[in-house]
Every structure is written in structure tokens, then in C-alpha cells.
Amino acid sequence: MKRRGQRSRKKYESIATYFAKQYAKEVEHIESLDIFSCFDLWHTHIDWESRGNRPAQARALVARMTYDLLLVTEARFAPRKKPFQIFAFIKGEDTGGNAVFVHTPNPNNNPYPCELVVDWDVAAPAELADVVDHSIYEIGKSKKEDNYFIRRREQRE
């Protein structure tokens, strides 16, 4: 006989498996980028299907994996000598919106650096509180919606 809660634990494990596969795909995608190209707000998502909206543990997992993808992306772009801007976006109500962005000077007349309309150095939301290294990264909150951004402290517009 199944105990109460066993089903949700199994469901969470399947969500964790799904995200492990998604994470591996996104890392492979990031590793395949030509870092010397132009990037016009290029971005990728860990949760294309918004599967992480429930349960709460899944939201935290998606936030953590988005931050981890930020670190992977920064490491990938480290050899690039030309200017670039990398930041993570944590969507307040929909984990499908969580993304890591790369922006560079580009021929599309999209200004570089990208100006983020954000209040910086705000308190981290619960799913990011113990994830982000606050000595290196700062968290900002969108002035219009309940969305958050993460970027390196020395990366200023």
C-alpha cells in the first residue's frame, strides 16, 4: 500500500530527471556557441515547457540550474577579448521564462550594453537566497514586475 506523499516524491524525482536532461542539453548548446560572434540578446532557457512552476522544490531547482547555466556561460566566454554582457533572468511567476542572456556589440542597432531597468542589490527571493555567491554577483529586481536579474558585480551598464 502506498503511503501518502509517495506519489508526489516520485513525481518530483521525475521532474529532477527531466531537468538533469535539460541541463545537459543546454550546457552542450552553450559549449557549441562561437563565442567570437555577435550576440543580440541571445538567450537560452532551462525550462522551455514551464514544468518547474510546481512544486516549490522544482521552482528552486530551476532557479539553481539557471544560476549554474550563468556560470557555465561565463566560463565559456572567458577567452573572448571583445566586450560582452551576460546575465540571468529569473521570471517571477513562470519558470519557463528563466533564462541566461548574452549580449555584445552587434550590427542590429540594438544598443550595447543592454540597459536593464532594475533596482540592484535587493534582497534575494527565497529560491535564490542560498544559491547566488553575493560576493561576486548582485541580484536586481525589475522595476515593473516581480522578476529578478543576476549579474557579476563589476558588470555595469
Query: Going residue by residue through the chain (157 aa), what tens digit of pLDDT does each one get?
Result: 445 555 555 555 588 889 999 999 999 999 999 999 999 999 999 999 899 987 778 888 999 999 999 999 999 999 999 999 999 999 978 999 999 999 999 999 899 999 999 999 799 888 898 999 999 999 999 988 889 999 999 865 5
Give the pLDDT of residue 114. Answer: 94
Give the pLDDT of residue 145. Answer: 87
Q: Give the three cell numbers for residue 145.
A: 514586475
Give the pLDDT of residue 1. Answer: 46
pLDDT one-digit tens code per residue, 38-58:
999 999 999 998 999 877 788
Q: What is the DSSP string of 91-119?
A: -SS-GGG-EEEEE---TT---SSPPP-EE
Give the pLDDT of residue 13. Answer: 56
Which residues are CB-neighbours of 98 under 8 A, at least 6 positions away? 45, 46, 47, 52, 62, 63, 66, 88, 89, 90, 91
Strands of the 99-103 sheet, one edge to the other: 42-44, 99-103, 85-90, 148-152, 137-142, 118-120
Bond before 83 cis per omega within 30 degrees: no
Question: For the chain, what percent of residues have pLDDT higher than 90?
Answer: 69
Q: What is the DSSP string of 58-98?
A: HHHHHHHHHHHHHHHHHHHHTT--S--EEEEEE-SS-GGG-
